[in-house]
Structure 1
Amino acid sequence: MRRSRTRMAGTALALLAVVGLAACSTGAEGGAEQDAPPVAKVSASVEAKAKDVPVREPITIQAKQGELTEAKLTNEQGKEVEGELAADKASWTSSEPLGYGTTYEYTAKAKGNDGKAVPLEGSFSTIEPSSVVRATLNPTDDQTVGVAMPISVKFEQPIEDKAAAEKALTVETSNDVEGSWAWLHDQQVDWRPKEYWPEHTKVNVSAKLYGVNYGGGAYGKTDVTTKFEIGRNQVVKINTPDHEMKVFEDGNQVTSYPASNGKDADPNLNTPNGTFIVMAKEEVGNFSNPQYGYTDVMKKWAVRFSNHGEFIHENEENAANIGVANTSHGCVNLFEADANEYFHGALIGDPVEVTGSQTTMEAKYEVYDWLIPWEQWQTMSEL
C-alpha cells in the first residue's frame, strides 16, 4: 500500500510539470499578441502594374483604420503630380490630368490607430493613343458677335465616337437660352439657340476633350474654352423683288438701302432664300469670276454672308439698277455710301434673312446652321 502511494505521488508531480509547461506556453502566446500586425490598410485606386489607365480619371490613395502620413504620385522624370490630401487625412486624390503613354509611381504611408506605419508602393502606365486629335472653338475669346452666331467645334480628323466628344462639351449662358448641339459632319459639331440669342448674353463654352476616347485609337489632344458676348439685336431683311435691304434693331426697322440683287431670270444667279449670317468683312474685296468673263473686279465694303459666294457690297458700276432691278450675280449691290454705313455697323454673326427669290439655298455652304429647321437640328445631336 505504501509503495502504491509513492507511485501516485510521482504521477501528481508529472501532472504539475505538465501544468507548468502549459503556463509557459500561455506566456509565449501573450508575447505574440503584442507583435500583432498593423491595423491600418492603405490602397490605391489603380492596381500595381496596371496598363492603359485613363488619363482623365483621378488617382486616389486611401487609408482605412488610420490616416495618411505620406502620399505622392510621380512621373518618369520624378515630377510630382498635383493632388490634395483630404481634411481627415484618409485619402489623397490627384488634381491634374495624367500624360499619355507615361509610367507613374505611387508611394504612401498610413499610420494606424495602433501607432504602426504601413507603406504602399506601386506603378502603372497610361493609355498610348495611336493619334491625338486637335480641336478648335469659334467664336474665340472676348468677341462681341451677332444674335445668330453659332458655336462651332471643329476637329482635325473624323470622329468615330461622336457621343463621347459631345458629352465633353458644355455651354453656360447668362440668360436662359434653349439650344442644342448638332453634328454637321464627322469633323464639326455646332451649337445654336432655337431662336436668335437674347442680346447682351454672356456665353462660356468648355470643351474638355483631353483624354476623350474618340474611337479607333484616337484621343483628344487638349481642352479648349472660349467666352464671348452677344451684341445688340440687328437683323437684315431682303425681299428680293423689293430691290431694298432693310435693317432692323430689336424688331424695329431703323434704316433701309436701295439694292440690286441676283438676276431673277437665272436661278443660278439668284440671291437665294434662307437665313444666313455675316461671316466676314473686307474693306476691299476681289470679286473676279472668270467663269462669267470678268477679272480684277474690286469692290468696297464687302460683307460675306455665305460661302456659296454671296456678299453685301458697293457697286457703283451698277448704280442705274440699284433700287430698280435685280442684275447682280447673286450679291446684294448697294451705293457706296450705304455700303460703307452698313459695313461699319455690322457684326460677325448678324442674321441676314433673304426671301422672295426663285431659289432656296441648300444646307451645304457655310454657314448654314439656320437653314436647318429646329426639329431636324435636334435630331443631329448624338446625345
Structure 2
Amino acid sequence: MHHMSRSWERSRGRHRPGRRSGPRSLRHRSITLHRRTLAKLLAVGVVVAALAAGGATAFASDSVRDAIASNLSGVGKGLGAGSDSPSDGDSSSGDEQADVPPVLTASPLAGATGVKPRDAVRTTVTSGELRDVALTNTDGDAVKGELAPDGRTWSVSEPLGYDATYRWSGSWVRPDGTVTPLTGQFGTVDPARTARASMNIRDGATVGVGAPVIITFDRDLSAKAKADVERALSVRTSKQVEGAWAWLPDTADGSRVHYRPRTYWPANTTVTVDAPLYGLDLGDAGYPAKDLSSTFTVGRSQIVKADAQSHQLVVVRDGKTVSTYDASYGKESDPRRVTRSGTHVVMSKSQKVLMTNRDYGYVDLPQYWAVRISNNGEFIHANPASTSSQGNSNVTHGCVNLSTKNARAYFDTAIFGDPVEVTGTTEKLSAADGDIYDWAITWADWKSMSALARAS
C-alpha cells in the first residue's frame, strides 16, 4: 500500500455579501397601567422616565419621548382633582384602564455595536403603521426585509455583513396622522477570526449511491459550535431517504461532519444540501466566511463486489451483473499488505498514478487506470506484472490488480461514491484507513455521533 494526496471534489458555496449583518432581538413590552397606580407613579415621575428611556430611544427619540410624555400627562390630568375615580373595591369599571401610549421600538437599540449577522433585526409600533422602511449600509445597499400584514412590524430576512454600520429610514404613521421619521443606526461584529468551510460534492455533480456528504472546517469546533452547525444544516431529497449527520473525530486539518443515508441512496435521486453558515458564531473558531449549498444527483446504482477468496471483481449495475474480472488482492501473509474488508467508496480516479512504498522498494512507480477506494493507498488499477496471479492468488501490496484491458473498462464506469464491497480478507476497514470509512460504522453508532445526540 502507498499514500497519496487527497482528491476531493470542491463545493461551490454561496457567498453572502460582505455588507450585511444583524442583531440580537430585544423586545419591549407594552404596559397597561391602572389609573390610580399610574397617578401615583406620575407623581414621582417614574413612568415618563422609564418609557422615554426604554421603548422609544431607537428612532426619533426626542419626538417619541415627547409623544409618550404628552399621552401620559393627559392620563394624569384625567386622574386629577375633580375626576370620577372608582373606589378600591370597584374593579369592574369599563374605563378602569388608561389607553396604552403608542410606542416605537427597535432591535437592536440605536448605537448598539457588535451585533451578530444572524441576530433578529426588526422595528415595531404598537399603533398606526410603518411606511417605506429600509435598512441600509454606508454604501446605500438595502437589506432584504418583510413588513408584517398589519403594517406594524418590519423584520430583516437575511444575514447582515461583518464590521458594517446600518441605518434605518422610513416613517411611523400614527392613527391621528402624525408622521414620525425612523432614524438611528447600529454596528455589526468585526470577527477576530473567520473559519473556512467546504463541501466535497459540487453543485450539479452526479455521484454514486454510497457517496457521503462531507463538510470540513479549517478549525477545531467546540461541542456547542458543532451542535449549532448541525442545527443549521438541511438535506432535501426527491425520494424518501433516512439519513443522519455524524461528526467524525477532528483531524489535524480541523473538524468534519458527514451525512450518509441509513442504506445506500436510491438511484436517480436529487439531493439538495444547505449549510447556511455565514454569520454563525462558532466561539473560539470564529465566524464562517460564507454559506455552502449543493444540489446534486445520485446516478445509477453501481456496486462492486470484490471477493478476495474467489479472486474476482464483479460489477453490479442497477441490480444486474454487467462485468466479472479476474483480480488479485493483498497478500494475506503480511498484515500490512492485506486489502481491507468492508464497504469502501470510489474517491477519485486517474489514468496514471505514481505509487510509492519505500518499505517494499518502489518509489514513484507509474500505475494506470487507477481508481482510488481509500486514503490508505488502496486502488483498483491495472498491473501487468501480476497478470499471472489475477484470478487465482493474492499477491499485491493491498490494491486490487486487474489486467490493463479490464482495469480500463472498469475505470470508464466508476464515479465518486460508488460502493466497493470488499470481502474475504482478515483485516477490517476502519478509521485508520483514511477519511471515508462511513459504511464501516453501524447505523446505531452513526446516529450517536451526532452533536445533537451528544448534547441531549
TM range (shorter): 0.7 to 0.9
Tell me the alpha carbon deviations over residues 259-291 of structure 1, each in whole angstroms, 9 at most, x when there is no partner.
Answer: 011112111101111110000111111123222
Question: Which residue in the other structure is 1:7 paired with?
Answer: none
CA deviation after TM superposition for structure 1 residue 202, in Å: 0.4
- Give the C-alpha shift of residue 371 in structure 1: 1.4
Matched with 2:129 is 67
- Matched with 1:270 is 338
Could you tell me how far apart the structure 2 residues matched to 1:40 and 1:78 are? 30
Aligned length: 351
Partner Cα distance (1:375, 1:69) in 2: 54
Greater Rg by CA: 1
- Residue in 2 aligned with 1:23? none
Letter of the 1:100 partner, please give it.
Y
In the alignment, which residue of structure 2 is the partner of 1:53? 115
- Measure the CA separation in 1 of the matches of 2:413 and 2:143: 50
* Structure-2 residue corresponding to 1:134: 196
2:219–2:285: 8 Å Cα contact kept in structure 1? no
Q: How does 1:22-41 map to 2 (within 5 A)?
A: 40-41=102-103
User: Which structure ranks higher in relative contact order (CA pairs < 8 Å, sequence separation ≥ 6)?
Assistant: 2
Identify which range, 141-150 or 92-101, moves more after superposition: 92-101
Q: TM-score, normalised by structure 1?
A: 0.86
Unaligned runs of 5+ in 1: 1-31
Q: Is the 8 A contact 2:244 2:260 kept in 1?
A: yes
Match of 1:369 in 2: 438
- Say if 1:217 and 1:117 are closer, same or farther in 2 by CA, change over 3 A: farther
Which letter maps to 1:371?
A
Q: Cα distance, 1:180 vs. partner? A: 0.6
Check conservation: 1:129, 1:217, Cα contact below 8 A. no
Q: By how many angstroms is 1:36 displaced? A: 7.4
For residue 407 of structure 2, give the secondary structure of its aligned residue in structure 1. Answer: helix
Query: Secondary structure, in 3 states, of the residue corresponding to 1:241?
Result: coil
| Distance apart, 1:300 and its partner CA | 1.5
* TM-score, normalization by structure 2: 0.73
**Aligned counterpart for 1:246 among listed residues 314, 321, 339:** 314
**In 2, Cα distance between the equivalents of 1:244 and 1:217?**
48
Cα displacement (A) at 1:41: 3.4
CA contact (8 A) 1:41 1:66 kept: no
CA shift, 1:140, in A, is 0.7
Instruction: After TM superposition, give the deviation of residue 88 of structure 1 in Å.
Output: 4.0
1:220 paired to 2:288: yes
Q: 1:347 to 1:217 in 2, by over 3 A?
A: closer
Partner of 1:381: 450
- How far is 1:198 from its partner? 0.5
Tell me the residue number matched to 1:179: 243
Secondary structure of 1:127's counterpart equals coil
Name the SS for the 2:394 alignment partner. Answer: coil
**Could you list the runs of 5+ residues in structure 2 that have no partner in the other structure?**
1-69, 76-99
Other-structure match for 2:234:
170
Aligned identity (percent) is 42
Corresponding position: 1:123 with 2:185: yes
Which residue of the partner structure matches residue 104 of structure 2?
42
Are 2:355 and 1:319 aligned? no
Please state whether the residue corresponding to 2:184 is helix, strand or coil: strand
Residues of 1 paired with 2:270 and 2:187: CA distance? 41
**Cα shift at 1:200:** 0.5
Measure the CA separation in 2 of the matches of 1:329 and 1:147.
Answer: 28
Q: Distance in 1 between matches of 2:331 and 2:315?
A: 22
